[in-house]
Amino acid sequence: MTTVLNVVGARPNFMKIGPVLRALKAKGMAAPLLHTGQHYDAAMNDRIFADLGLPEPDVNLEVGSGSHARQTADVMTRFEPVLDEMKPDAVLVVGDVNSTIACALVAAKKGVRVIHVEAGLRSYDRAMPEEVNRVLTDQISDFLFTTEREAEANLVREGIDPARVFFVGNVMIDSLLFSLDKAVPAAATLGGLAGGYTLVTLHRPSNVDVPGVLGPLVECLIEMAAAAPVIFPCHPRTRARLEAAGLLAGIEAAGIRLLPPQGYLEMLGLMRGARVVVTDSGGLQEETTALGVPCVTVRENTERPITITHGTNTLVGTDPARVMAAFRDVLATGGKAGRIPELWDGHAAERIAAVLAERL
């Protein structure tokens, strides 16, 4: 039996791996799951696994937090003996987290074929650790599965053989469509508020670790809260930065609702009911496009341009004037209608499994 060892490490991976596991098993392949432990909040980890219907990992490396170098090295040294023992036919990695490049590199050096799901996305910003992970993982992968057609052009420009590239669609959207009926209604999470609100997430170091950026962004949120309720599920790290910068009092005074990190089904319900989403997340850009919800992205670039050209996303950077102009435009016009990108139809994982069943 063909064995594909599937690697996850952090929340963005969890949301994409479920459809892949189901599709591989439906094709008669063994699909063990390895969790590196890069995402180390045990309670949130268990909650998201349950929300997504993921099986208990067959292996957990339990690497925990650390610098980029330390975390990547820890994954590599703990992954190698597992790979030696399991002897899979291929290792499948998803996305762009440290676990992705770490496990891909170990597998490639041992002659084990590497499968990269969500290949070819580029922000062209090498200051982003995720961009470095994406570029390097693609270079050493044997099968590169892309979410949009432009990704193949990115890969070919970097010297990758088009015969290794397969346009299959977006497994993140597979998970979203699979889970939509189970989404927790916003009213259940917000004590009766069912819609008409602004949903905010901020977590990128370039936004939350720089007081000169974070402060003006918070001023924008306070201004938004005067026009519509603002719901802000806040990662503990972001909350710590807000507290250190002395910004929490202003947020609370404006009536902004700070929530703890939400489970996948709760977050899905919150997105679905939002009037607009303001975020620096890559995944939310895709999910809002699939849901038809306007999205304002507070980043200078994005590796997901199809959410702008086809979807509901507007990229505004962090300039307060641009952020507020985009927000007011959504309130006035309803925002970009967008359309669902090609092959974002809930069957990407099945296409991946079909290719692997034929070629492994």
Give the residue numbers marked as catalytic.
203
CB atoms within 10 A of CB 129: 15
Please give the full DSSP string across 279-337, using - where no structure is assigned: E--HHHHHHHHHHT--EEE-SS--S-THHHHTSSEEE-TT-HHHHHHHHHHHHHH----
Q: How far apart (Å, rounded) are the C-alpha atoms in residues 12 and 267?
A: 13
Distances (CA, A) of 349 to 77, 150, 296, 316: 29, 19, 28, 32
Q: Which residue has the tokens 């947020």?
A: 251
Q: Which residue has the tokens 């026009």?
A: 227
Taking phi first (over 0 means left), then psi (-120 to 50 degrees means alpha), and beta for anything else, what does residue 253 get? alpha
Q: Which residue has the tokens 């300039």?
A: 319
Q: Which residues contact 162 (CB under 8 A, 6 or more apart)?
A: 152, 155, 156
Nearest to 223 by CA among 295, 333, 314, 320: 320
CB 238 within 8 A of CB 255: no
Structure-token pair, residue 59 = 């292996």
